[in-house]
Structure formats: C-alpha cells, structure tokens
A = this chain, B = another copy of it.
Amino acid sequence: MTAVQPDVRTLLSPGDPAAIEQLVRDTGFFSTDEIAIARELADDGLANGPASHYRFVIAEQDGALLGYTCFGPIPGTRSGWDLYWIAVRRAAQRRHLGRALLEITELAVQAAGGTRLYAETSSRAQYEPTRAFYLCRGYTVAAQLPDFYGPGDDKLVYSKLIG
C-alpha cells in the first residue's frame, strides 16, 4: 500500500452521486433506506451546486472515490451544522482518511461561520467504532433518544464546538 495523499475537493462532479451510492453500499453498514438518502443528498448537491443545502468533502485517488462527508447548516439555528454523512472505503480506513475528512469538514464549517457540529449515530454494537471515533475527535454526547431507530436502538447525538 502506498502512502499517496488523496485529492480533496468540495464541489461535486456528475459521477459523484453514483460513486457515493456505491461507496455507501459497499461499506455494508447502511440500510437500503439510508443508501437511498445518501444518494438523494448527493443528487441535490450536484443539481443545485453551491445553492444546495448540502455541502460535501470528497476524497479520491486516481479518480476513484475513497470517502466523503456531507454536511450543512441547520435551518432555524444561529450557527449549528449537521454532519449528515461520513463514509470511507474500507481499504482507506486504516489510513485515517475518516479523521482527515472530518477535520477538513470542521474547517469548512468554521469558515462558513458555523460554531457547532452535530453528528448522530446509533447505540447498536455495530456502531461502537463510530462512537469511539467521535469521542476521540473531541465530540461529546449531547443527547440520547431511547428506541429512536427501533426497539433497543437509541439515537446518540454527538456535538463539538468548532473554532
């Protein structure tokens, strides 16, 4: 495995929505519903560009998508932002691409005037690495909603002050 640095960009290209859908599906982590949502947000981002509610950080290498984040300002809040998606191709996870993507996302949020970033995840055992990742990156649990996703499957809301 080489240590070549991936390319990063924030504007979507026409091939991105399909590549994002494929990447999200390939992680084996997300439900059919969730995959459809990931695709829908990417379609919106491509169609509406900078006017879209959804912003993106795309990491690729030799034209292949390695990972991405999708995020945006929370309507009705002064400076709260939501991290809607963060997904990294399995092979790139060992290279700390998730950490790099999250850091770039936080800088983008800060540059846009955001002061707080929220990330939601599930209490299920499958998401233990995700929860550890957020805690490690300085996020704290702002709320826990019992049985939100389903019986015994709570929603955890992580939050981090930015800037």
Contact = CB atoms under 8 A, between A and B. Distances in A.
Q: In the complex, which range does the number of interface residues on chain A fall in?
A: 20 to 34
A133 interface: no
B143 A76 contact: no
A44 B31 CA distance: 25
A146 interface: yes
Contact of A75 (B37, B78, B146, B147): B37
Number of copies: 2
A77 B148 CA distance: 7
Nearest to A31: B76
A15 to B, nearest CB: 25
Nearest to A146: B142
Of the candidates A145, A148, A157, the one having the most CB atoms from chain B within 10 angstroms of its own CB is A148
A88 to B, nearest CB: 20
Contacts of A123: none
Nearest to A147: B116
Interface of A: 31, 33-34, 37, 74-80, 116, 118, 142-151, 153, 157, 159
